[in-house]
Structures are given as structure tokens and as C-alpha cells.
Amino acid sequence: MRLSRYFLPILRDTPKEAEIVSHRLMLRAGMIRQQAAGSYTLLPLGLRVLNKINAVIREEQNRSGAVELLMPTIQSADLWRESGRYDAYGKEMLRIRDRHDREILFGPTNEEMITEIFRSYVKSYKELPLNLYHIQWKFRDEVRPRFGVMRGREFLMKDAYSFDLDKAGAVHAYNKMFVAYLRTFERLGLKAVPMRADTGPIGGDLSHEFIILASTGESEVFCHRDFLDFAVPPADTNFEDIAGLQAIVDRWTSLYAATSEMHDEAAYAAIPDASRVSARGIEVGHIFYFGTKYSEPMGATVAGPDGKDTHVHMGSYGIGPTRLIAALIEANHDEAGIIWPDAIAPFTVSLLNLKTGDAGTEAACDELYAALTKAGVDVLYDDRDERPGAKFVVNDLIGSPWQLIVGPKSLAEGKIELKRRRTGEREVLTPAAALDRLIGKA
RNA sequence: CGGAGUGUGGCUCAGCCUGGUAGAGCACUACGUUCGGGACGUAGGGGUCGCAGGUUCAAAUCCUGCCACUCCGACCA
């Protein structure tokens, strides 16, 4: 992408409403625009990051055996009356009437709808286990939206729903998601710790929140330090190995970890001083097992091996991709701006032409741009007619992991500069050598 | 929902207390000079001061009501 042809509305000053660093940087880097309280447009740069996060989430969901579909954002009130949640959900649900005066709502979650889909098609235990997920916009009319996309009212959520014949099957489904989540956050470059959690309005008796530690986190968390060094299950983990998965989950739940709502002061006090971690955290995922809470009232049954109809055991599993963008920035930035992990950077390489209009640098940049693009590397070519300083500042702000700097001085010696954003390390090398480095890594 | 605060060109803000022709910096347009860490000069364009009432000869400024947004607390991917 040529920056001169892109839509990247950089802000020089920080808008005054933004208090936390991720919100400030997202506004300054032209990633989001606020439209109302808790409601944001994702500008092109922000959307690129979101798409990359979603791609990682999809790969790991699919790897675990979940199947993607896409449900609508608008749901009927009647569906929610079946579970009893239309009245129970309260003011956070945005309730609307259509032209026929029918009561509808903007979905805050999809347990009812997925249960309706499941019950109308699945009749036999032989079709289980089943896990269906989608990545869709949710609306929750929060009392107090804040911190940009960290707590918005309209936000994207990956929500998965599992169906099993009995509790044992459902626990295995839960464990699959548990492991998929560990892998997802690891691939995004985040240290996430699963913590015992309250189940809230979703209901159920087995639940974990995945929390990343950050000083700006909304929740207070307590855990054992060893969690931070646990190895994440590898890509070739066998998700069908019931005992194997259980062993992984047992290990990851063997030490103390809880949010303040579930905090047990005595258990925490039993941890040796040096191993206690008390910090702020950002909730980036939440998984629940809730048995037949929805399948019973909504009549979701399958015939078991004995021919009798049984209510299915369900679980639901959520990740907030829009919140993850903010969480990633909280975890990856410095004074100059964002430092994207390679896996989710909107652009892997920023190509800086320090002297627009110079025949030599333009020819060199055009060649590099073509070669990188051909190799499938996401490159942002800063071809604007700006002074070098302005280009350095903007490209540091938007945080591409690599900067390829082409200036007349070094080019006179046939060299260009390759800068690593995270460390600031610079290497002077030939264009061909730089390409080898970047394409080899991609 | 309780508490605090803010609304003035695209952005950051001054002006308000003490009413009298709407300002600055950045950004934008044109021209010139500049060019390795947010350049400079000259000349321009752009705001019915959140909205509605009221007081007054006169309201960005004073009064009343409303709306929007932000922050702190209680609640939540």
C-alpha cells in the first residue's frame, strides 16, 4: 500500500477524552473514530489489525474442531422469552420495535439463537459432539462505556457454543476451548492466565476468565507467579485425547489464580511470598459450562444410545477481538507509539523514501516495494512528499515491526537501512540482503 | 445509577470571572525556499462559540432547562 493513496488520518495531538495509552494511540494512529459513547468506526489501519486477530482466532477454533457459521445481530424477543432471559437480562439489552411493532433486540450474546438452530436440526447423539461459533457484533448497553474499544457498547465477539450428550462430554468440549484459548493468546503474543470466574448472567458452575496482566486492567487479580512461565500446548496437540487435554487443563488450573470476585484470601496467603502476584488484569476471554440451563427450557434434546431423548449439555466460549486490539497495544508500546507483534501488525514493513522526487531513492523504493508485495509481505510504502523527520515519527507511531529506510546518502554507497521497531536496532545493508531478511522471515 | 468535570474552525486550547466587531498554534490551499527524527516565509480558506429559552440597547461571556461526551465509584467479552 502506498501511503499517499491510503486513508490514514494521523492525529498530532492527543484528543482530550482519551485517558489510557491504548485509546490514545489508537486515536493518534488513525485506527478508530468514536461515533457515540462506546461505539467506534474501525478505520483502515484498525480493521487490518482486527482482521489479523480474527484470522488467528479462526485458525485455533478450527484446529480444535469448532465449526464457523454466522448468526444475525438482531434477534426476536420471543426467542429470549423461551429461556426466561428476556425479562432477566435487564437494561444492558438494547430492546427495539420494528415497523410491525414486534419486539426485537440487538443481541448481547447468542445462547438462545444457537440452541434454536441446534434443536431444529440435531436429533441424535451420533451427531455429537458439536461446537459452533461465529464472530459477530454484539451490543450491550453498558452503564459506563470507557477506555475506547476496551469497554465499548458495540463490540466484536467470537462466541462458540458446544453441545454434548452428557457432562463428561461437555467437560471435554470445555477443555478443548481452554486449550484453544491458551494457544490463541500465545500466538497473539500475550501472556494469558486462566482464572476461576463468576458465571454472571450466562449461568453455570464451571467457568474461567482468561486474563492478561496490565496496569490499566479493569479487574484486580491474584495468581501464582509460576503461571507466567507455563509452556503453552503445541500446535499438534491432539484435541480428541480426552485424558491428555484434561491433564493440560489440570496443570493450568493447579495453582491459585482468581479475580477479585472469586478471591480467596486464605488460599492466596498460603502461596509463598515470592510467588504471589497481585496485579490488574484485562479480561480477554471467558469460557462457561452451564449444562442444561438452555437446553431444558428450550427443548434441545437428542436421542441417546438407549433411544431416549436427553437434554444436551452446553457450554459457551467468548473472546473479544476488538478489546484484544486495545489489550495488545497496552502490552506493546513505547513513548513513540505502538510496537506490533509480527503476527498481527497491520503492516509488517514500513518502507520509507526519505527523499521523494529523487530518482535514485524512488527507483530503489519501487523495486523493494514490488519485490515485497510479490512475496506477500504487507508493506506500507511511505511515498509522501514529507521531510524525513515526519516520516520517522508517523511510522514509529503506527508501529510496523520493520522499517526499511531508503535515503540518498546510504544509497550512494548502494546501501539501505533496516530498522527493528521494537529494539531500535539498525542495520545497514544492500537492498538484496534486506529483501532476503524480510522475505525469509515472512 | 451516585459523584466530579468538559462542550469555542478538523485537532489542542485561549477568551467567560469583569457582556461591546470570535482568537492562537497545529492541520488545510497556493507560491517560494528547505529536506536523515514532526522545517520556514508570504498570501489565503474555514467557526450562527452543544441546543433551546430568558435577561439586556448588546450574550461565547450572565440566568434557567435540556442534550452530548469524559473521568472516579458500584456492575460487565
pLDDT tens-digit map of A216-263? 888 888 999 998 999 999 999 999 999 999 999 999 999 999 888 888
* Structure confidence by residue, pLDDT tens digits, A125-145: 999 999 999 999 999 999 899
The protein footprint on chain B, as nucleotides within 7 A of a CB, is 1-2, 11-13, 25-27, 34-39, 68-77
Residue A425, CA distances (Å) to A401, A417, A421 in order: 11, 10, 8
Q: What contacts A201, CB < 8 A, 6 or more positions away? A: A85, A88, A89
Interface residues 125-164 of A with strand B (CB < 7 Å): 140, 142-147, 149-152, 155, 157
Q: What contacts A166, CB < 8 A, 6 or more positions away? A: A310, A313
**Beta carbon of A415 within 7 Å of strand B?**
no
- What DSSP designation does A93 have? S
* Structure confidence by residue, pLDDT tens digits, A398-436: 999 999 999 999 999 999 999 999 999 999 999 999 999
Interface residues 59-118 of A with strand B (CB < 7 Å): none
Task: Look up cell 523495486; give the residue.
Answer: A367
Query: DSSP readout, A35-75?
Result: EETTEEEE-HHHHHHHHHHHHHHHHHHHHTT-EE----SEE
Percentage of chain A surpassing pLDDT 90? 86
Distance measured from the CA of protein residue A16 to the C1' of nucleotide B19, in angstroms? 30
**Beta carbon of A433 within 7 Å of strand B?**
no
SS3 A181: helix
Distance measured from the CA of protein residue A266 to the C1' of nucleotide B24, in angstroms? 60
Check pLDDT > 60 for residue A442. Answer: no
Distance measured from the CA of protein residue A42 to the C1' of nucleotide B25, in angstroms? 29
* Structure confidence by residue, pLDDT tens digits, A184-210: 999 999 999 999 887 666 666 689 999
CA pair distance A136, A102, nearest whole angstrom: 23
Q: Report the predicted TM-score, pTM, of the whole model to 2 decimal places.
A: 0.96
Q: What is the rounded average pLDDT of the residues A26-41?
A: 94
Q: What is the rounded average pLDDT of the residues A53-73?
A: 98
Q: Residue A9, CA: closest nucleotide via C1'?
A: B10
Q: If we measure between CA atoms, which residue out of A354, A216, A361 comes closest to residue A280?
A: A216
Q: Residue A157, CA: closest nucleotide via C1'?
A: B77
Distance measured from the CA of protein residue A13 to the C1' of nucleotide B46, in angstroms? 20
Distance measured from the CA of protein residue A138 to the C1' of nucleotide B67, in angstroms? 26
Distance measured from the CA of protein residue A17 to the C1' of nucleotide B4, in angstroms? 15
Mutual angle of helices A359-374 and A431-441, in 10-degree steps = 20
Average pLDDT, chain A: 94
**Beta carbon of A21 within 7 Å of strand B?**
no
**Beta carbon of A19 within 7 Å of strand B?**
yes
Q: How confident is the model at residue A441 (pLDDT cuts 50, 70, 90)?
A: low
Q: Which three cell numbers stand for residue A60?
A: 485455533
Q: What is the pLDDT of residue A16?
A: 82
Distance measured from the CA of protein residue A21 to the C1' of nucleotide B19, in angstroms? 41
Check pLDDT > 50 for residue A8. Answer: yes
Q: What is the rounded average pLDDT of the residues A392-400?
A: 97
Q: If we measure between CA atoms, which residue out of A182, A174, A231 comes closest to residue A211?
A: A182
Q: Residue A17, CA: closest nucleotide via C1'?
A: B70
Interface residues 206-245 of A with strand B (CB < 7 Å): 209, 218-219
Distance measured from the CA of protein residue A232 to the C1' of nucleotide B59, in angstroms? 66
CA pair distance A232, A248, nearest whole angstrom: 9
Q: Residue A409, CA: closest nucleotide via C1'?
A: B36
Q: What is the rounded average pLDDT of the residues A337-361?
A: 96
Q: What is the rounded average pLDDT of the residues A296-316?
A: 97
**Beta carbon of A334 within 7 Å of strand B?**
no
Distance measured from the CA of protein residue A13 to the C1' of nucleotide B11, in angstroms? 6
